[in-house]
Amino acid sequence: MDIIAVDWGKTTAKRAAFHADVRTRTVSRLDLDGRLASLLRFAQARPGPVLIGIDAAIGYPRSAWTALCATLQISPPDFLAFLRSKDRPDDFFDHVRTPSAWTATRPFIRPPHGRKWSLRAYVAASNDGLHRHIDRRLGANPLFVTSGLPGSVGSGTIALWQELIALEDAEMPSVWPFHGTLTALLAQPSVVLGELYPAACYGMALAETLPAARIRIAKTKAPARRQALAQLQSTAWLQAASVTLRDVSGATNSEDQFDALMSATALLRMALAGRIPRADIHTDPVEGGILGADGSSD
């Protein structure tokens, strides 16, 4: 089994990936061009199964979904089916700049640059449709906001969804949880794509034992990254499992590489402990699921 963790961004220059080989227990940086299609080609060339976790939303808030289906008068079986269908409006990815312009069929928000704006006003206009349940549980940013918030994720979400749409049917991987449980999908020599949240992986990578409490790391600061990586390399579980970390210096210098390395290491630990299938516990055919979100507690 292989695990690939990707810190995603709007542009390929802001993307980084680390590859954990469960057989050899090594974690190393992948030097790819950042495009989803290239990542999938690499994964498909592996003997499989390959689990890819990407730091971008793959799912839709329930409240907004209900409004979307009612507006379009459709009833798709799940979010992914809608995303790749002809039911998706032509202006779906066009930004709105005011709360009054927000609709579930045109959900992405770009507040006016340099002006005050209210997230609460958009939350109210969307009938609390900017967050999924798991976003709130993990303290994640609203998935539709593209700018105006530290760590906004909307632009990266758009990029991933558009790249998923652009894939030919033959290129499409299995996408968890829409195509099945991890237990079933990883029982086959196939590529499985799922959503990842790096902040949920820090504790799993650094704790001496599992389950682990979630922790905060000021990843934008090099000293904090350096301290966390030094702690990671000295953890008893890493040494006991004979895991080798490569390309750590790059993760010290880049927060994108840092998140990818920490995430790949955490998921490798989950795999070695037989805990990867725990992610199947809390999933939704609309809101999706997040790899590692349940690895920090029982």
Q: In whole angstroms, how far apart are CA 154 and each of 10, 104, 105, 177, 233? A: 9, 14, 15, 21, 33
What is the per-residue pLDDT for 112? Answer: 87
What is the per-residue pLDDT for 82? Answer: 97
| Residues 193, 50 within the same domain | yes
| Residues 248, 152 within the same domain | no
Q: Is residue 296 part of a domain?
A: no
Q: Is residue 45 part of a domain?
A: yes
Q: What angle do CA 263, 42, 194 make, to 5 degrees?
A: 40
| Residues 216, 254 within the same domain | yes
Distance of alpha carbon 224 from alpha carbon 188, whole angstroms: 39
Q: What angle do CA 80, 84, 90 make, to 5 degrees?
A: 120
Low-confidence ranges of the chain (pLDDT < 70): 294-298
Q: Is residue 29 part of a domain?
A: yes
Q: Which of 165, 187, 214 is the last residue of a domain?
A: 165
What is the per-residue pLDDT for 238? Answer: 96
| Residues 111, 250 within the same domain | no
| Residues 225, 122 within the same domain | no
What is the per-residue pLDDT for 7? Answer: 97
pTM of the model: 0.95
Q: Confirm if 245 and 261 have CB atoms less than 8 A apart.
A: yes
What is the per-residue pLDDT for 272? Answer: 95
Residue 251: both structure tokens together: 């993760």
Q: Which of 165, 190, 209 is the last residue of a domain?
A: 165
pLDDT tens per residue, range 18-37: 999 999 999 999 998 999 99
| Cα atoms found within 13 Å of the Cα of residue 274, Cβ hemisphere only | 0
Q: Is residue 71 part of a domain?
A: yes
| Residues 81, 12 within the same domain | no
What is the per-residue pLDDT for 294? Answer: 66
What is the per-residue pLDDT for 298? Answer: 41
| Residues 53, 66 within the same domain | no
| Residues 160, 175 within the same domain | no
What is the per-residue pLDDT for 130? Answer: 96
Q: Is residue 121 part of a domain?
A: yes
Please provide the DSSP assignment of the chain as one string. Answer: -EEEEEE--SSGGG-EEEEEETTTTEEEEE---S-HHHHHHHHHTSSS-EEEEESS--S--HHHHHHHHHHHT---SSHHHHHTSTTS-TTTT--B-SGGG-BTTB--B-PPTTS---HHHHHHHTTS-S--HHHHHHTPPPTTB-SSSTT--HHHHHHHHHHHHHS-GGG--EETTTT--HHHHTTSSSEEEEEE-GGGTHHHHH-SSSS-------TTSHHHHHHHHHHHHT-HHHHHTT-EE--HHHHHH-HHHHHHHHHHHHHHHHHHTT-GGGGGSS-BTTTB-EETTTTT--
| Residues 66, 53 within the same domain | no
| Residues 100, 139 within the same domain | yes
Q: Which of 139, 165, 191 is the last residue of a domain?
A: 165
Q: Is residue 67 part of a domain?
A: yes
pLDDT tens per residue, range 245-288: 999 999 999 999 999 999 999 999 999 999 998 888 889 999 99
Range of the domain at 199: 2-58+170-291
Q: Is residue 230 part of a domain?
A: yes
Distance of alpha carbon 232 from alpha carbon 265, whole angstroms: 9
| Residues 271, 190 within the same domain | yes
Domain count, the chain: 2
Q: Is residue 298 part of a domain?
A: no
| Residues 70, 30 within the same domain | no
